Amino acid sequence: MSTIATLATTANPAPAEPVSRNWRVLVESVVIPVGAILAALVVFGVFCGLAGASPFSVYHSIYRAAFGNWYAFQNTLVRAAPIMLCALCTALPMRLGLVVIGNEGALVMGGLGTVLVGANWVTAPHYVALTAMALAGMAMGGLWIMAVGAMKLYRGVNEVISSLLMNYIAIAILNHLVNGPMHDPSSLNKPSSYPIPDANLLGNIPGSRVHFGLIYGIVACLITWVLIEHTSFGFKVRMIGGNLRAARIAGLAVGKISLTVCFLGGAAAGLAGMAEVAAVQGSANESLVTGYGYAGILVAFVGRQHGLGVLLVSILLGGILASGGMLQRVNHLSDATVLVFEGMVFLVILYSESLYGRFRIFQEKAA
Amino acid sequence: MKISNLIQTAATVAVMAAFAVGPATAADKVSMGFIYVGPKDDYGYNQAHSEGCAGVQKLDWVSAVEEASVPETTAVEEAMRDMIEQNGATVLFPTSFGYFNPHILKLAKEYPKVQFFHCGGMWHDGLPVNVGSYFGYIDEAEYVAGIVAAESSKSKKLGFIAAKPIPQVLRNINSYTLGARSVAPAATVQVIFTGDWSLPVKEAESANSLIDQGVDVLTCHVDSPKVIVTTAEQRGIMCTGYHANQSVLAPKGYLTGAEWNWSKVYMDYADWVHSGKSLMDGTIPHLIRGGLKEGFCKVSPYGPLVSDQARSDADAAKAKFMDGTMVIYKGPIKDNTGKVVIPDGTEFKQRDIELEKMNYLVEGVLGSTGS
């Protein structure tokens, strides 16, 4: 529960942690997001009603498809894994006050780094290969976003625009490489890179059909949480995000810290690319570019740029996406319905942030 | 699942008992699943497949479910799995090219009793026996459309907007061009590669740019021709379609088009499965291909602007495809850099594997594969 309270307090990036946590604040931080999701469900229900489906049957389908049992929940987790890592690519730099949306590009670069190592070093023992691929993916993604940070810090280039454009550059590099230098001639109609040997692919978590990318994501979110909320490095990061000039005057190494955080964010997205290549696709090709990066931006905002928030919201989004199939097959709604639902949930949650502190019942009584 | 099966069986028994006969009862139903990478109503690739699904759905012994807008990631694996586990599908048609490797291959190993049919012709020996491939020689319909386009064009400048310079796409462009130049030797086809399957903004820009250069008939090979066809109509030029019939989008300028006819293919598969045949015992072939003759593809009905001359020339070519005497790739054929790619005296029939490695653009195409 305390984590949810922390979540709530990070809404205004005050540099200091509140010492005492009032139970009313705690209740507020539960009631508002839950209320937001309920409100979104009501609006979505009206939408489904207009589209000719019974809202209650739709709710039942969503629950059944996303969280109903272990079989369904694995579907949710499979979808959440890459989004989690991509979200950190926006969430981490955001704590510095930088709005980085280059997640998709960092994922692609991470995937390319993975293939560079994995497809060339085919004789490496399994764990050595996986470690090398993960490091290569993280390095490529990390450097990609670090470049965005450097352009901002030393040249004043707007990071939103530069990171967005870097996405297109990364995708162009991917297309160039899989059609040219890295092209596997046997992939005629779907140009792909040379594959990673089967022996070195990233497997599933035992007893499930969820690949290890999920563990990477959960660990990365936990590390982010500890690093940003509970270390002096994190304190410095939050201070830079809170007031850059004050941080400079206080003598913080703004450049070094900012570049490090950008690198970590990019490395997370790069790791998502590594998992996509090493656990799902087996090679690099256009299937890497499916919008995980953009989903990550949304998750980072809704999860309030907080490690644990990102973790929870990714699973929520994974569940929403997992329900798309059943809405089509059982409720005969169109394929866009799940996007409408996603949009409504996230919009209402984002709106609900403006409600914190607005309800008198949640306010601390003057002592 | 168990309980619903039980109920289903109980219901079947009840029905059979009531009528004392029961040739086509619920238990006999062939349960199929169709998966598309984009929306079902894209006037293109996915609509063509969805129309095929609608075809088999009319059979009362088929139950079919669909899922659209499923990306080529773990999402398609989950979609296939759900159809098998939740809908009891025993026959799956995951239609996007990129679903095959690794997703279909992975699920096929996991569910050896389910039959997976994939559009694209990628099956080969050594792959799971419960996977089959089908594909059509739609470039035959493109050849016919090229004839109509060239005869309808005044400037003899045709435009082709294509996604990627891969063999399948190049073959369509080349057949279209060879068709056009068979009736108008001076005709040219200006090609633009957009770089991806669905880039509506770039497709519209390309269409406008080609029209500004004097092109008066446009066609394309992208997932959804909608933007290109409507742009052509708005700018007052003609077009030929691809994948599905787009004539409602361009009632004036739509000349004809190369359409898939998947319902015929899917009905064949449904019949085979219904009669107990399977990929696993070899009674359903692993590779199925066909063109106009086999009914895998068709030519859209001619539009109002098509002259009698164009109609008769196109019908003549179509007739030669139907009786099997037409060979599109008959030497000498030069590429558009002047190099002879098929020497005099050599001919490649439609089924020739050589054509599936195509990496050139024939003479008369303006553009290059290296974009």
pLDDT, tens digit, 9 for 90 and up, residues A266-277: 999 999 999 999
Average pLDDT estimate for A131-155: 97
Structure confidence by residue, pLDDT tens digits, A80-104: 999 999 999 999 999 999 999 999 9
| Helices and strands counted in chain A (H then E) | 14, 0
3-class secondary structure, B283: coil
Q: Which long-range contacts (CB under 8 A, 24 or more apart) does B281-287 make?
A: B284/B115, B284/B132, B285/B132, B286/B123, B286/B129, B286/B131, B286/B132, B286/B133, B287/B121, B287/B123, B287/B132, B287/B133, B287/B134
Average pLDDT estimate for B124-148: 95
pLDDT confidence of residue A188: 80
* Residue contact B73–A287, C-beta within 8 A: yes
Instruction: Quickly list H helices, chain B.
Output: 2-19, 45-57, 74-87, 105-110, 139-152, 167-183, 200-212, 226-234, 262-274, 308-322
Residue position matching structure tokens 């004036």: B252
Q: Which of the two residues, B142 and B6, has the higher pLDDT score?
A: B142
> Looking at beta carbons, which residues of chain A come within 8 Å of B136?
none
Residue position matching structure tokens 């070519």: B317
Band (pLDDT 50/70/90 cuts) for residue A33 is confident
Q: Is the CA virtual torsion A324, A330, A334, A335 positive or negative?
A: positive
3-class secondary structure, B331: coil
Name the token pair of A363.
């306010």
Average pLDDT estimate for B20-29: 51
State yes or no: pLDDT of A307 exceeds 90: yes
- How far from chain centre, in Å, is Cα B144? 16
Name the token pair of B295.
């009914």
Average pLDDT estimate for A42-56: 94
> Looking at beta carbons, which residues of chain B come within 8 Å of A175?
195
Q: Which of A189-203, A236-250, B12-26 has the lowest mean pLDDT?
A: B12-26
* Residue contact A188–B356, C-beta within 8 A: yes
Band (pLDDT 50/70/90 cuts) for residue B20 is very low
The alpha carbon of residue A46 is apart from the nearest alpha carbon of chain B, in Å, by 23
Q: Are A126 and A200 in contact (CB under 8 A)?
A: yes
Nearest to A189 among B74, B83, B97 (CB): B97
- Region of B295 on the Ramachandran plot (φ > 0 left; ψ -120 to 50 alpha; else beta): left
> Looking at beta carbons, which residues of chain A come within 8 Å of B166?
188-191
Most confident of A18-22, A303-307, B91-95: B91-95
Band (pLDDT 50/70/90 cuts) for residue B229 is very high
Average pLDDT estimate for B294-299: 96
Band (pLDDT 50/70/90 cuts) for residue A20 is low
Q: Which of A64-68, A326-330, A358-362 has the lowest mean pLDDT?
A: A358-362
Report residue A335: phi and psi, to 5°: -65, -20
Residue A162 exposed, middle or buried by CB count within 10 Å (0-12, 13-18, 19+): buried
Nearest to B168 among A189, A324, A335 (CB): A189
Q: Residue B42 and residue B220: Cα distance in Å, rounded?
A: 14
Could you tell me what percent of chain B has a pLDDT over 90?
A: 87
Q: Are A131 and A200 in contact (CB under 8 A)?
A: no
| Helices and strands counted in chain B (H then E) | 10, 17
Q: Are A265 and A100 in contact (CB under 8 A)?
A: yes
Band (pLDDT 50/70/90 cuts) for residue A364 is low
* Residue contact A78–B164, C-beta within 8 A: no
The alpha carbon of residue A69 is apart from the nearest alpha carbon of chain B, in Å, by 13
Q: Is B102 on the interface with A (CB under 8 A)?
A: yes
* Residue contact B85–A71, C-beta within 8 A: yes
- Region of B24 on the Ramachandran plot (φ > 0 left; ψ -120 to 50 alpha; else beta): beta
Name the token pair of B39.
């929306």
3-class secondary structure, B162: strand
> Looking at beta carbons, which residues of chain B come within 8 Å of A276?
73
pLDDT confidence of residue B321: 96
* Residue contact A190–B66, C-beta within 8 A: no
Chain B: residue nearest A175 by CA?
A: B195
Q: Are A51 and A337 in contact (CB under 8 A)?
A: yes
For B223, other C-beta atoms within 10 Å of its C-beta total 25
Could you tell me what percent of chain A has a pLDDT over 70?
A: 93
- A-contacting residues in B 22-51 (Cβ below 8 Å): 39-40
Chain A: residue nearest B356 by CA?
A: A188
The alpha carbon of residue A34 is apart from the nearest alpha carbon of chain B, in Å, by 27
Mean per-residue pLDDT of chain A: 91
pLDDT confidence of residue A280: 95
What DSSP line would sit under B339-367, residue for residue? Answer: -EEE-TT-EE-TT-GGGGG----BTTEES
Report residue B71: phi and psi, to 5°: -70, 165
Name the token pair of B173.
């462009």
Q: Residue B139 and residue A365: Cα distance in Å, rounded?
A: 77
pLDDT confidence of residue B287: 93
Q: Say which residues have a Cβ less than 8 Å from residue B180's Cβ, sequence separation at least 6.
A: B146, B147, B149, B150, B158, B187, B189, B364
- Domain B139-259+298-366 CATH class label: alpha beta
The H-or-E segment that residue A12 falls in is none
Q: Which long-range contacts (CB under 8 A, 24 or more apart) does A37-45 make?
A: A37/A345, A37/A348, A37/A349, A39/A348, A39/A352, A40/A341, A40/A344, A40/A345, A40/A347, A40/A348, A40/A349, A43/A344, A43/A348, A44/A340, A44/A341, A44/A344, A44/A345
Q: Indicate if B139-259+298-366 has the same CATH topology as B28-136+262-290.
A: yes
Q: Which of A19-23, A208-212, B223-227 has the lowest mean pLDDT?
A: A19-23
pLDDT confidence of residue A5: 43
Residue in A188, A194, A337 to test binding to B, most B beta-carbons within 10 Å: A188
Adjacent-strand bridge partners of B32: B64, B91
Architecture of domain B28-136+262-290: 3-Layer(aba) Sandwich (3.40)
CA proximity to A317, closest of A36, A48, A75 = A75
State yes or no: pLDDT of A328 exceeds 90: yes
Q: Say which residues have a Cβ less than 8 Å from residue A57's Cβ, sequence separation at least 6.
A: A330, A331
Q: Are A223 and A233 in contact (CB under 8 A)?
A: no
State yes or no: pLDDT of A295 exceeds 80: yes
State yes or no: pLDDT of B61 exceeds 80: yes
Band (pLDDT 50/70/90 cuts) for residue B17 is very low
Q: Is B65 on the interface with A (CB under 8 A)?
A: yes
Q: What is the value of ipTM here, to two decimals?
A: 0.87
* Residue contact A75–B82, C-beta within 8 A: yes
Q: Residue A360 and residue B2: Cα distance in Å, rounded?
A: 53
The H-or-E segment that residue A55 falls in is helix A55-66
Chain A: residue nearest B77 by CA?
A: A75
* Residue contact A325–B67, C-beta within 8 A: yes
For A237, other C-beta atoms within 10 Å of its C-beta total 28
Q: Residue A227 and residue A222: Cα distance in Å, rounded?
A: 8
pLDDT confidence of residue B216: 96
- How far from chain centre, in Å, is Cα A336? 22
pLDDT confidence of residue B8: 53
Q: Say which residues have a Cβ less than 8 Å from residue B212's Cβ, sequence separation at least 6.
A: none
pLDDT confidence of residue B157: 97
Q: Are A159 and A152 in contact (CB under 8 A)?
A: yes
pLDDT confidence of residue A3: 43
pLDDT confidence of residue A189: 82
Does CATH place domain A74-332 in 2.60.120?
no
CA proximity to B259, closest of B298, B218, B317 = B298
* Residue contact A79–B39, C-beta within 8 A: no
Q: Which of A16-20, A73-77, A223-227, B360-364 has the lowest mean pLDDT?
A: A16-20
Q: Residue A257 and residue A237: Cα distance in Å, rounded?
A: 7
pLDDT confidence of residue B12: 47
- How far from chain centre, in Å, is Cα A18? 27
pTM for the model stands at 0.88
Any idea where the domains of chain B sit in the sequence?
Answer: 28-136+262-290, 139-259+298-366
Mean per-residue pLDDT of chain B: 91
Nearest to B97 among A190, A335, A336 (CB): A190
CA proximity to A191, closest of B213, B167, B279 = B167
State yes or no: pLDDT of A15 exceeds 50: no
Q: Residue B335 and residue B263: Cα distance in Å, rounded?
A: 36
Could you tell me what percent of chain B has a pLDDT over 70?
A: 92
Any idea where the domains of chain A sit in the sequence?
Answer: 1-12+21-53+335-367, 74-332
Q: Is B101 on the interface with A (CB under 8 A)?
A: yes
Adjacent-strand bridge partners of A309: none
Average pLDDT estimate for A32-44: 92
* Residue contact B67–A291, C-beta within 8 A: no
pLDDT confidence of residue A357: 83
CA max distance for chain A: 75
* Residue contact A329–B82, C-beta within 8 A: yes
Q: For chain A, how big is the Rg over CA atoms in Å? A: 21
Q: Residue A273 and residue A293: Cα distance in Å, rounded?
A: 10
Cis bond before residue B251 (omega within 30° of 0): no
pLDDT confidence of residue A361: 79
Cis bond before residue B102 (omega within 30° of 0): yes
Nearest to B357 among A79, A188, A322 (CB): A188
Chain A interface with B: residues with Cβ < 8 Å: 65, 71, 75, 78-79, 175, 188-191, 209, 211, 276, 280-282, 285-287, 290-291, 321-322, 324-326, 328-329, 334-336
Q: Are B147 and B132 in contact (CB under 8 A)?
A: no
State yes or no: pLDDT of A13 exceeds 70: no
Name the token pair of B8.
């289903």
pLDDT confidence of residue A2: 42
State yes or no: pLDDT of A7 exceeds 80: no
Chain B: residue nearest A73 by CA?
A: B78
> Looking at beta carbons, which residues of chain A come within 8 Å of B42?
none
> Looking at beta carbons, which residues of chain B come within 8 Å of A211?
74
